[in-house]
Amino acid sequence: MTYVIAQPCVDTKDKACVDECPVDCIYEGNRMLYINPDECVDCGACEPVCPVEAVFYEDDLPAQWSDFLQANAGFFEGLGAPGGAARLGPLNQDHPLIEALPSQGE
């Protein structure tokens, strides 16, 4: 099991969760943040600090955002296990599901 970042993060990327994560497993894509399921230790520190309530425990992910479970995991298919987001910095990519979404801007 792992935590998942869902729709409310798209085009927001507040990063409060990044600052709170003790294992540096939250990576930045072009339009949203992603939790690496292989690096997440399920501590839950990221969930309460998210100002847009985009972070969910996998079992609590709302049905309308169920595709975000695969989007979070799929984001890392080409990256493998990089061993920490700080080492890589922002990545110039997103999962295809996120790329296809209309702008969430105000």
Q: pLDDT digit string (tens) for 28-44?
A: 999 999 999 999 999 99
CATH code, domain with 60: 3.30.70.20
Note whether residue 13 is domain-resident. yes
Confidence of residue 105 (pLDDT cuts 50, 70, 90): low
Does the pTM of the predicted model rise above 0.85?
yes
Note whether residue 69 is domain-resident. yes
In 38-100, DSSP assigns E strands to 55-57
Note whether residue 101 is domain-resident. no
Note whether residue 102 is domain-resident. no
Q: Which two tokens stand for residue 87?
A: 């080492």
Q: Which residues pair with 55 in a beta bridge?
A: 5
For residue 1, is pLDDT > 90?
no
Give the total number of structural domains in the chain.
1
Q: According to the model, what pLDDT value does residue 104 have? A: 81
Q: Which domain holds residue 47?
A: 3-81
